[in-house]
Amino acid sequence: MPTETVDITKFKSKIAPDWCPGCGDFGVLTSLQKACAMNGLDSKDVVVVSGIGCSSNLPGFFGSYGMHTLHGRGVAVAQGVRLANPDLTVIATGGDGDGYGIGIGHFIHAMRRNLNMTYIVMNNQIYGLTTGQTSPTTELNTQTKSTPEGSIENPLNPMQLALVSGASFVARGFSGAADRLAEVMAAAIKHKGFSLVDVFSPCVTYNKTNTYPWFRERVYDLQAEGHNASNWDNAMIAAKQPNNRIATGIFYQAPATPTYEELEPAYKFGPPTKQKLGLDKESAAALIASFK
């Protein structure tokens, strides 16, 4: 279904976004609303979990259940939600500082477990909420408040990291191309397994280098050039291309990879949240009393 005809009303919140005018996160929010509508999801069955940062305010602007958690812990909490009730569609959202900095440990382990969830990272290559310091994806030699003479650290490549860590769906989008981004997000959410969607989401206030025009001159769509997303080696090649030509679209989608939930014996009895405790009222009362 074309994204322009999708009704996103049920995924709109009563709270209006308060990002800076022109922030790329507006496009990410709209794309996610479209993606959920395209997949025919019901808002009551969707949970959006975030960490801390400008982008991590997204659950409040999205019409579903949501949690705004701690810095770098969005993916950890999202895993908990998913494990408690695998019937839910779980989406984690955050920024490059939140996910690729303090939260990188949770990120890697969630990928190797291959839980069935989606992680959307709004990658603006800067710390926006704390007013413009270098993040893990800030380019070499970039001048910021924390690096006035230019960054001396090589940036993290999240696409390569996701591929070697076991993510079964790895994609990238650009918030300046919201319709295509919605298609990529819809595919990520539909995919069975851990899905990463890294999104170039320009910070118009603090990052004066990686702007909308800068990206439009460089990004291209892998699917438009016949990329084979089932080939892991091809995905790695696309992920390490230089900044003068940056790939977007679906880098890799593993075929029929078992998820953590499918392999966990406890789920043969159904979602933990819907399982009976196996205690009668007297035994349950005695158990509770023993903790007093």
Give the total residue count for the chain. Answer: 292
In the chain, the amino acid numbered 258 is: P
pTM of the model: 0.92
Distance CA 101, CA 73 (A): 11
pLDDT at 133 over 60: yes
Q: What is the pLDDT of residues 32-45, one digit of tens each?
A: 999 999 999 999 99
Angle at 47 between CA 262 and CA 28, to 5 degrees: 110
Helices and strands of the chain, counted as H and E runs: 10, 8
User: Pseudo-torsion of CA 38, 39, 41, 47, nearest 10°?
Assistant: -100
Please give the structure tokens belonging to residue 24: 């790329």
Q: What is the pLDDT of residues 37-96, one digit of tens each?
A: 999 999 999 999 999 999 999 999 999 999 999 999 999 999 999 999 999 999 999 999
How confident is the model over 185-208, as a mean pLDDT?
Answer: 97
3-state secondary structure at position 98: helix
**Beta pairing, strands 246-253 & 169-174:** antiparallel
Please give the structure tokens belonging to residue 176: 């300046």
Q: What is the pLDDT of residues 147-172, one digit of tens each?
A: 999 999 999 999 999 999 999 999 99
Radius of gyration of the chain (CA): 20
Residue 1: band (very low, low, confident or very high) from pLDDT cuts 50, 70, 90: very low
pLDDT at residue 266 in the model = 85
In the chain, the amino acid numbered 145 is: K
Architecture field, domain 3-267: 3-Layer(aba) Sandwich (3.40)
| Helix (H) or strand (E) run with residue 1 in it | none
Please give the structure tokens belonging to residue 235: 């995905």
Please give the structure tokens belonging to residue 273: 């949240």
Distance CA 231, CA 218 (A): 23
DSSP-derived secondary structure letter, 258? P
Q: What is the mean pLDDT of the chain?
A: 94
Domain map (residue ranges) of the chain: 3-267
